Amino acid sequence: MFKDDRFKGLFLTDLKRDLFAGITVGIVAIPLGMAFAIASGVKPEYGLYTTVVAGIMVALFGGSRFQIAGPTGAFIPILLAIVLQYGYENLLIAGFLAGIMLVFMGMLKLGNLITYIPRSLTIGFTSGIAVIIFSGQIGDFLGLEGLEKKQYFHENIIQLVQNITTINLLSVLTALIGLFIIIFLPKLFPRVPILLIALIIPTIIAIVFYPGKVSTIGNAFGGIAQSLPNFQIPAVTWEKILMLWQPAFVIAMLGGIESLLSAVVSDGMTGKRHHSNRELVGQGLANIVTPIFGGIPATGAIARTATNIKSGAVSPFSGIFQGIFVLVTLLLFAPYASHIPLASMAPILMIVAINMSEYKSFAHILKLKSSDSLVLLTTFLLTVFVTLTIAVQIGLLLAMVSFIKRMSKIFEVEKVIPALKDSKSRNEGTVTICPELSFFTISGPLFFGAADKFESIITRSINKRPTVLILKMKDVPIIDATAEANLASLVKDFHKIGGTVLISNTNKEVRKTLEISGLYEKIGVEHFFNDSSDAVDYGLQIINVKKCSKCSRSGKSACQVFKYKGKIQSG
């Protein structure tokens, strides 16, 4: 269906570079995969299964040479909400449905449409997600006991306040060590795998100096299975589709947006171009297959993709090698992961939350105090205090209303006066204004948001009962069904009083719409002109001299003896 040239022209040296890049990204992906899975309310190995399966699938079938797919922080709130409300098994079904949606979006070539989602919306829900992720790690950072994960932000904050007395200072110490490593170690050793070191060193310190004093992955989840994931097709039923289609749609939209943003970032770093529709299909296939192996929804990961490129990746083989490396590591070292303190994973996710929050862009848009600010703030607050599903729906609605309002302001209807100069007169500055001819220039998209403004202005002119109405539509890029209906009503009313409508300078798209609707025939083929000068000349010839107040006083056709110079002056 899509031509794929991402694997062509490779040499052995390229594969060696891809292998090194894949291992490097795999080292980064292992702690993130476990951390994202735990934060989403599922076992850590499910995050690793996702890293393996989705990473390989997107590398094979995606639209970018360098995309690294897997579990991401953006999914945490929606996945946690699904797990808490519907359970882990239904999360797999939601991910499976989201995969099907993404495949259809790619096949219908909707990849470019996702890029039209306003930045205020994406930053709003991304910042909201960041707040949820950060606040969700406070309990593990402080080592609080008796916490239960709740669906809503305020419920989790209440839990933190109620259990603050159970703080574990050793957990705080463990988390601070990890945080110190993440912040300061890159300044000394920029090429070391910071996140993996931030897990290993606190784990060793906890085992050696205070064993059994802090909560670990083993305490919370019973360790990580040292085996391949089980193969099981999700039990999809019609009832479950009806129940889960909305969260599945949000997963699909969020996954599509983040994967394409990641692909755009990789394009900017490498000069290559991704195929957006094939990327959606690849992401969709990954999310269809991943739940079969127990994995959670996945998408393109911007930070891991950037790491892949910086590590020297040449082709999608780096993503395949990354998946294989994580799988081998899982099979060899899974038992040791049970000793990792949850407190050492908290600062990793907190840093991820801060990095994804885009707080500078958030503050910038908020300062604008525009409709974008309203979309941003509304989406952010709904993401934090309600659900991401509602936030995206309301945010999109507000963005559309804002867009319509802005486009309506761009639309202009201006009355102009044809300047009719007597070519025989000694006074070349003499101008005659014909009361029987009304001329308007229309500028901007003629759509439902501007249709009422258009009709009301023109109607006022019709009330003065001119003989000819000329509409110059050179700057009208489109006309929709609502505006076409308003124009048809206006033409009908004008014809009733014996008037003639002339239209000039329409583009092909507008004229085609009028032809399809039948309005082109009603107005009359002979009443369409490519030049407004011709329209004015034609209008002057069909004016009834006896009816014209100016001509009846002079006893002759005043306008007919004037020559139209082709100029139109604003009136």
177/208 Cα distance (integer angstroms): 15
Q: Looking at the predicted structure, is the pLDDT value of residue 276 above 50?
A: yes
348/343 Cα distance (integer angstroms): 10
pLDDT of residue 264: 84
Q: Are residues 84 and 207 in the same domain?
A: yes
Q: Are residues 18 and 148 in the same domain?
A: yes
Exposure string of 238-247, with b = 16+ CB inside 10 Å and e = fewer, is eebeebbeeb
Does 441 map to a domain? Answer: yes
pLDDT of residue 417: 65
Does 391 map to a domain? Answer: no
Percent of the chain with pLDDT over 70: 90
Identify the residue whose tokens are 């296939």. 285
Count Cβ atoms below 10 Å from residue 396 Cβ, excluding itself.
16
Q: Are residues 475 and 335 in the same domain?
A: no
Q: Are residues 46 and 119 in the same domain?
A: yes
CA angle 219, 149, 170 (to 5 degrees): 45
- Provide the CA 185 distance to its chain's centre, in angstroms: 35
216/337 Cα distance (integer angstroms): 9
pLDDT of residue 251: 93
Q: Are residues 297 and 428 in the same domain?
A: no
Does 372 map to a domain? Answer: no
Q: Are residues 255 and 152 in the same domain?
A: yes
Q: Are residues 158 and 70 in the same domain?
A: yes
Average pLDDT over every residue of 437-457: 85
Domain that residue 206 falls in: 12-359
Does 1 map to a domain? Answer: no
Exposure string of 250-279, with b = 16+ CB inside 10 Å and e = fewer, is bbbbbbbbbbbbbbbbbeeeeeeebbbbbb
Does 376 map to a domain? Answer: no
Exposure string of 335-362, with b = 16+ CB inside 10 Å and e = fewer, is eebbbbbbbbbbbbbbbbbeebbbeebb
Does 3 map to a domain? Answer: no
Tens of pLDDT along 512-559? Answer: 999 998 999 999 889 999 888 888 888 888 876 556 655 655 544 445
pLDDT of residue 562: 42
Count Cβ atoms below 10 Å from residue 380 Cβ, excluding itself.
25
Q: Are residues 450 and 353 in the same domain?
A: no
The structural domain count of the chain equals 2
Q: Are residues 349 and 432 in the same domain?
A: no
- CATH code: domain of residue 433: 3.30.750.24
**Positive/negative CA dihedral, 291, 293, 296, 302:** negative
Cβ distance 476 to 507 under 8 Å?
A: yes
- Longest CA span, the chain: 113
528/208 Cα distance (integer angstroms): 88
Tens of pLDDT along 396-442? Answer: 899 888 888 877 777 777 777 665 544 444 344 444 567 778 888 99
22/34 Cα distance (integer angstroms): 18
**Positive/negative CA dihedral, 93, 99, 100, 105:** positive
